[in-house]
Amino acid sequence: MNKKFIFIFIVTLFAVQLNAQKVKNIKLKTHIDSLSYAFGISIADNLKTQKIENINPQAIGRAFQDFYNKEPKISADTANKMIQKHFEDIEAQKHQATIDEGKKFLAENAKKEGVVTLPSGLQYKIIKKGTGNIPTASDKVKVNYEGTLIDGTKFDSSYDRGQPVEFAVTQVIKGWTEALQLMKEGSVWMLYIPYNLAYGSRSAGKIIKPFSTLIFKVELLSIVK
């Protein structure tokens, strides 16, 4: 059951809490009554499985009524983002050690000669200055690259494959997209990418764990015409 579906069922489950007496005396007289109760049991079981117990039934019931009266205090989009962030925060707690290691690495790396830290948190170091054009968000580029974890473990390399890769500037992780639009053709940069500009809470392949800070050597060969 996806999180948006969970949200819809949560408000259904607790809408009756607006009137405590009716909740105590609720009777399943119609098919809709029984179906609604079944939805409630289903989502309650799902929430319990996910260990989500610290909720306010009255607030959920109020939200249900406000939504159907077209007077919600927050939009459905905002609500879904809040729920998504809640689950992401829970997941982050499981990987706090990885997050802390990445932050420590970046803090120490920022002090090294030649390392530039951008407002986004992305860090880079210029190994070779290019002289060509700078890609835009609408461009496609040809690059060679090598990616490692902060402990030096290599997880990917076009150099090893002996074949450069081509892709659109906006079809890669955020850290790459930002860096590519600062690099000139012919440049070679080291990129130090915090997890939120990499794969975030997702894993990638067998080596990259959720919330991993990543290092890339990126050689911008050309803008593909």
- What pLDDT score does 13 carry? 47
Task: For residues 137 and 124, give the distance between their C-alpha atoms in angstroms, rounded to a whole number.
Answer: 19
Residue pLDDT, tens place only, 87-96: 788 888 889 9
Q: Kindly tell me if the per-residue pLDDT of 21 is higher than 70.
A: no
Q: Of 46, 65, 94, which residue is a domain's last?
A: 94
Are 138 and 58 within one domain? no
Are 50 and 104 within one domain? no
Are 130 and 218 within one domain? yes
- The closest alpha carbon to 160, from 172, 176, 177, 148, belongs to 148
- What pLDDT score does 193 carry? 98
Q: Kindly tell me if the per-residue pLDDT of 196 is higher than 90.
A: yes
Q: What is the mean pLDDT of residues 59-71?
A: 76
Are 22 and 48 within one domain? yes
Q: How many domains would you assign to the chain?
A: 2
Are 90 and 123 within one domain? no
- What pLDDT score does 18 carry? 42
Are 212 and 102 within one domain? yes
Are 109 and 213 within one domain? yes
Instruction: Select the highest-mean-pLDDT range: 19-23, 93-97, 173-177.
Output: 173-177
Q: How confident is the model at residue 189 (pLDDT cuts 50, 70, 90)?
A: very high
More confident residue, 112 or 63: 112
- What pLDDT score does 19 carry? 44
Structure tokens at 225: 């015409």
Structure tokens at 105: 């690495």
Spatial CB neighbours of 194, under 8 Å, sequence gap ≥ 6: 102, 103, 106, 121, 122, 175, 213
Q: Kindly tell me if the per-residue pLDDT of 104 is higher than 90.
A: yes
Provide the 10 A C-beta neighbour count for residue 31: 8
Are 153 and 218 within one domain? yes
Contacts by 105-113, CB closer than 8 A, 24 or more apart: 105/150, 105/192, 105/213, 106/192, 106/194, 106/213, 109/192
Look up the domain containing 161 and give its range: 96-224
CATH code: domain of residue 114: 3.10.50.40
Any idea which of 8-22, 132-146, 184-198 has the lowest mean pLDDT? 8-22
Q: What is the mean pLDDT of residues 115-122?
A: 98
pTM, two decimal places: 0.71
Are 87 and 135 within one domain? no
The helix/strand/coil state of 197 is helix
175 HSE (CA, 13 A, CB side): 25
Structure tokens at 156: 């990917």
Are 117 and 148 within one domain? yes
Q: If residue 146 lies in a helix (H) or strand (E), which one and from where to where?
A: strand 140-149
More confident residue, 21 or 42: 42
